[in-house]
Amino acid sequence: MTRPFALFATVAISVLSLSPALAETITIKLSTLAERSAPARITNIEAAAEIMNQQFKAAGVDKQIVIDAKSSSAKGWDDLALELLKAFAVGQGPDISVLPHEWIGQFAQDGYAMAMDDRIAATPWVYGDILPVLWNAAKAADGKIYGIPQDAEIRMFFYNKDMLRKIGKDEAFINGLPEKVERGEFTLDDLTALSKEVVDKGGAQYGMLHRPNVGIDYLMVFQSFGVRFADEQTGKLIFPKAEMTKALAWYGRNAKEGVTPVDNTAMSWDAIQSAFKQEKAFIFHQGVWALAWQVGTSMGATWPSDGEGYFKKIGWIPAPAAEKGGQPMNLSHPLLYMVNPKGEHANLAADLVALATLPYFNNQHAVTSYHTAISNAQTAMPIYKENWALSAASPMMAHARFVPNHTKFSSYNKVLFSGLQAVETGKMTPEQAVDFIADELQLQFGAEIDIRDAVAK
């Protein structure tokens, strides 16, 4: 026997004798958007898999689950959804994906999302306690539930109290602002005037900053002006021109008066967030999860990490009413875990989601990423209660609304955002922008959109 052959035989025999000891590996693919502050969307599923693996081991089952997680670098959730649709179309869809709730309709319609109603009914030990309002966000047009709430949150305007002190406002005014907004006494125009005052008196470089790209936050303002995005009876998307004009005009005025920079939509996230953190901007409009970088040392400035210190510096308000006596608005934008019904291990994937949804795990996500609880039990747990930010955010859910679960809403929102950009940059008047948006919506959706003069027909 030659030496190479002997070597080969040894290796072959050892591999063969080893292989029965190797467990059957079940790979579960998980897909989400890369977000540094929210690693638990992945680690919770991994932890669930670990529990199952231990159970397999204890029961002598020769199987091992491996989570193959992909954090997409897509620009935003909508782009991730488009990416996923492409993957599913060629049979490469992941077993579990994290998606914003308004996309669930599209995925359900295409057969990419598992209907969960039976599972939810059969698994009360986890699903029995989920906030009912979140189930509504997970329903497709057929009324069935196709996703499991992964997190919840609340959007708001953050305002810098130190700047108000700097321009000579008293503590009663500064700390009384949220209540005045709540009662509908302090309107969006008052907010513009206040921001202008702060800028004019040298309190800040920017009055108000909002997100630079398509998203959800600015829709709160539209809702304050009475905009509704879908007909409540028919579920059809609507575009009410009168209310839209008013809302866009507010953004136009902000830009014209120097409250919002005309190129807010061309700024980078980094520039916007650090402007607020480094106290160059009076107001920043986003959501509670922004606390992940607001507290502590990120973005080039250090802010207090304790509730008392933080709220001495920063206050929160919902979108104020458009007119005195009106209703302030909040938006919540829950994410969902969606299970691929065609996956080889679809049931196992659904079980992993169930485990990862347990209060213990969801709280891991909630407290590290500053997202509000999805179940009642979570809010009672010490780790959640000790989180002053989440405890303060939960009551804001009272006004929370959701964007419609319509398959075309994300495209609708993109068009709306370009209209907002057109007004803010001074390229169009609000009226022109409304015509532009209406024309674009008509072009893209035809009969699927109801373009009206006002919400009330």
Enumerate binding residues for other proteins (CB under 8 A). 81-82, 85-86, 88-90, 106, 110, 262-263, 265-266, 410-411, 414, 418, 421-422, 425, 427-428, 436, 439-440, 442-444
* Rounded Cα–Cα distance for residues 443 and 254 (Å): 30
> To which H or E segment does residue 239 belong?
strand 237-240
Q: In angstroms, give the least distance from the CB of 65 to other proteins.
A: 29
DSSP 16: H
Q: How many helices (H) and strands (E) does the chain have?
A: 22, 13
Q: In angstroms, give the least distance from the CB of 428 to other proteins.
A: 8
Give residue 142's Cα distance to chain centre.
24
Q: Is 74 or 381 the residue whose CB approaches other proteins more closely?
A: 74
Residue length, the chain? 457
Q: Is 305 or 425 the residue whose CB approaches other proteins more closely?
A: 425
> What angle separates helix 40-58 from helix 346-356, to the nearest 10 degrees?
110
Q: In angstroms, give the least distance from the CB of 109 to other proteins.
A: 8
* Rounded Cα–Cα distance for residues 405 and 427 (Å): 31
Q: Is 30 or 438 the residue whose CB approaches other proteins more closely?
A: 438
Q: Is 305 or 432 the residue whose CB approaches other proteins more closely?
A: 432
Q: Is 198 or 420 the residue whose CB approaches other proteins more closely?
A: 420
Q: Which residues pair with 36 in a beta bridge?
A: none
CA-to-CA dists, residue 372 to 18, 174, 215, 379, 406, angstroms: 48, 26, 19, 9, 24
- Residue 250 half-sphere exposure toward CB, CA atoms < 13 A: 26
* Rounded Cα–Cα distance for residues 289 and 371 (Å): 6
Q: In angstroms, give the least distance from the CB of 107 to other proteins.
A: 9
Instruction: Answer whether 12's CB lies under 8 Å from 30's CB.
Output: no
Q: In angstroms, give the least distance from the CB of 267 to other proteins.
A: 9
Q: In angstroms, give the least distance from the CB of 422 to other proteins.
A: 5
Q: In angstroms, give the least distance from the CB of 414 to other proteins.
A: 6
Q: In angstroms, give the least distance from the CB of 113 to other proteins.
A: 12
Beta strands (DSSP E) in 48-122 are 63-72, 96-100
* Rounded Cα–Cα distance for residues 259 and 209 (Å): 8
DSSP 124: H
Report the SS3 class of residue 221: helix
Q: Is 429 or 442 the residue whose CB approaches other proteins more closely?
A: 442
Q: Is 394 or 411 the residue whose CB approaches other proteins more closely?
A: 411
Q: Is 82 or 392 the residue whose CB approaches other proteins more closely?
A: 82
Sheet of 155-160: strand order equals: 206-209, 281-287, 155-160, 314-317
Q: Is 142 or 263 the residue whose CB approaches other proteins more closely?
A: 263
Q: Is 159 or 412 the residue whose CB approaches other proteins more closely?
A: 412
Q: In angstroms, give the least distance from the CB of 102 to other proteins.
A: 13
Q: Is 206 or 289 the residue whose CB approaches other proteins more closely?
A: 206
Q: In angstroms, give the least distance from the CB of 321 to other proteins.
A: 29
Give the residue from 331, 334, 183, 188 showing the smallest Cα distance to 249. 188
DSSP 214: S
Burial of 37 by CB count in 10 Å (0-12 exposed, 13-18 middle, 19+ buried)?
middle
Q: Give the burial string for 162-175 (b: 16+ CB within 10 Å, else e).
A: ebbeebebeeeebe
> To which H or E segment does residue 292 belong?
helix 291-294
Report the SS3 class of residue 212: coil
